[in-house]
Amino acid sequence: MPGSVPVFRVFVSSTFADLAAERKAMHKEVFPELQRLCDSLGAQFQVIDLRWGVTTEASLDQRTVAVCLEEVDRCRAATRRPYFILLLGDRYGWRPPPGAVTGERFELLRAAMPPEDAGLVDLWYAEDGNAVSRAYRLQPRRGRYVRITSTRCAATSAAPWNRRGCARWCRT
């Protein structure tokens, strides 16, 4: 658009626990310099760092990953390149459960689980009666599951979310 101000919008991604110092340094040292450079060139500089930006409602509705990916898309639409900064460390971070699982796969996986895990899966997933192809959808966190945080789950279990370590903590 003629006359519009160029925007340099960048999404910052990393695990939070092991890269807190690096994120802080970026906000304290690097981003102010980029802001000054953009100001001198007549551009806007915008940092998207969602470690504070995912609402409780989005988190409870199991939309954390979707919110992050939507923000990455906004950065990509506003900025040619680069629009994404990845700080890579020693941890893999949080592995969210899938938002949907096909009916056949869900039933095969559930049948192979120990009864206590199958009971948890039954609490977290519900069959989507409106889906053209049978599917089970991850349900929003409600009741006793509201206090669950991805940080707590990641800290209590080295195994993926669907292993019993985190799932058992989440149940208590």
| pTM of the complete model beyond 0.95 | no
113 burial (CB, 10 Å; 0-12 / 13-18 / 19+) is: middle
Grouping H, G, I as helix, E, B as strand and the rest as coil, residue 16 is coil
pLDDT digits (tens, 9 = 90+) for 132-167: 999 999 988 776 666 555 444 443 333 334 444 344
- Spell out the residues 6+ positions from residue 86 whose beta carbon is closer than 8 angstroms to its own: 13, 14
pLDDT digits (tens, 9 = 90+) for 68-123: 889 999 999 998 888 899 888 877 666 778 889 999 999 999 999 999 899 889 98
pLDDT digits (tens, 9 = 90+) for 15-66: 766 788 898 999 999 999 999 999 999 999 999 988 766 777 777 777 778 8
Assess whether the previous peptide bond of 82 is cis (omega < 30° from 0). Answer: yes
Distance CA 68, CA 112 (A): 32
